[in-house]
Amino acid sequence: MTFMIKMCRFLFAGMLILMAAHVSAQSKSESYLFHFNPFKPETAGGPQHGRTVKVRFDAGLTSQYYSNDPHYTTGTEGDGAYTLGLKIEIPIQQNADIIVGPDFMHENFDFDSYFFSTGYSFLYNGDLYYNHAIEMDELQIPILYKINFSSETRNIKNLYATFGWIFRYVFYNNALVTNVNSGKFVWEGQDDITSAFPLISPQGSGGIEASLGYQHNTLRNGNAWFFEIEYRYGVSPFIYSGNGEGSNNVEFSLNTLSFKLGLRL
């Protein structure tokens, strides 16, 4: 996980450098922009289109990366996650766009920890006899700056990158607690996760997103399909209560790496 975090930080730094270079290049000639195009330009038989507002649909599978207190949790594992998105892409420069719209993300993970029933008080002895299986649904709203590394109106194939800020809102979460030794049911409940640094609501927080993508364009109308690798870093950790009344109060960070396929129409 430490390696992945270092790689993602490197990606963020690279994205900032690319953005600065791209904005500077906007004031230069078109031939300068095309100088860095890794693909051979291809043109269709029909007339080229003008860039217009487009709608993006995407879906993807997600890897989850956690950071939580090793003294009070152990064996944290992701049990599968996916994302669905619907966004608007708005041209703002010759080779740049603003992307905004909602994403739905479903996440599952579990870890071993302690558990104190409501109304009982115990001295914590370090034994982590209870498995906590968490199911979580987020509404995420990114506001992204998109850089096209070549003209999408003149090239069928182009690479792009995005970088921006996201609002995260956990609108559903369910915790299922079972005994590790016997497998017996202990407790189940909802609304057990809040943000350490809440934004707008106790379940709201902020984040940073960066991605690299490949886009295959239809030159006559600007439609396209795309493949995207996207990393999202949560600025605020989450707090897991445990039984709705503070049994655990485990703080954890959740970042994601998604592989997405989509259409732009």
Average the pLDDT over 211-216 and give the result: 98
Residue 76 covered by a domain: yes
Residue 13 covered by a domain: yes
Residue 101 covered by a domain: yes
Residue 235 has pLDDT above 50, yes or no: yes
Residue 61 has pLDDT above 90, yes or no: yes
Query: Does residue 192 or residue 33 have the better pLDDT?
Result: 192
**Alpha helical stretches, state H, the chain:** 2-25, 30-34
Residue 59 has pLDDT above 90, yes or no: yes
Provide the domain limits for residue 35. 2-42+51-139+150-264
Residue 155 covered by a domain: yes
Separation of alpha carbons 175 and 145, rounded Å: 36
List of residues 6+ apart from 211 with CB closer than 8 A: 161, 162, 163, 228, 229, 230, 231
**Residue 98 host element (H or E):** strand 96-100
Residue 193 covered by a domain: yes
Task: Name the pLDDT band for 68 (thresholds 50, 70, 90).
Answer: confident
Residue 23 has pLDDT above 60, yes or no: no
Digit-coded pLDDT (tens) for 174-200 = 999 999 888 899 889 898 899 999 999
Separation of alpha carbons 204 and 31, rounded Å: 45
Cα 100 vs. chain centroid, distance in angstroms? 14
Q: Which of 71-75, 81-85, 107-111, 159-163 has the lowest mean pLDDT?
A: 71-75
Report the pLDDT value the prediction gives residue 9, as an integer from 0 to 100. Answer: 54
Residue 19 has pLDDT above 70, yes or no: no
Residue 145 covered by a domain: no
Residue 227 has pLDDT above 80, yes or no: yes
User: Which of 109-113, 186-190, 230-234 ranks highest by mean pLDDT?
Assistant: 230-234
Separation of alpha carbons 92 and 53, rounded Å: 10
Digit-coded pLDDT (tens) for 86-110 = 999 999 998 999 999 999 999 999 9
Residue 204 covered by a domain: yes
Average the pLDDT over 198-213 and give the result: 96
Report the pLDDT value the prediction gives residue 48, as an integer from 0 to 100. Answer: 55
Digit-coded pLDDT (tens) for 132-148 = 999 999 999 999 999 99
Residue 108 covered by a domain: yes
How far is residue 206 from each of residues 168, 248, 264, measured CA to CA in Å?
6, 24, 26
Torsion angle (degrees, nearest 10) of CA 15, 229, 80, 101: 80
Overall number of domains in the chain = 1
Task: Name the pLDDT band for 27 (thresholds 50, 70, 90).
Answer: very low
Residue 67 has pLDDT above 80, yes or no: yes
Task: Give the CA radius of gyration of the chain.
Answer: 22
- Kindly state the percentage of the chain with pLDDT values over 70: 75
Residue 237 has pLDDT above 80, yes or no: yes
Task: Name the pLDDT band for 13 (thresholds 50, 70, 90).
Answer: low
Report the pLDDT value the prediction gives residue 4, as an integer from 0 to 100. Answer: 45
Separation of alpha carbons 60 and 242, rounded Å: 30
Query: Does residue 255 or residue 28 have the better pLDDT?
Result: 255
> Are 129 and 180 a contacting pair, CB within 8 Å?
yes
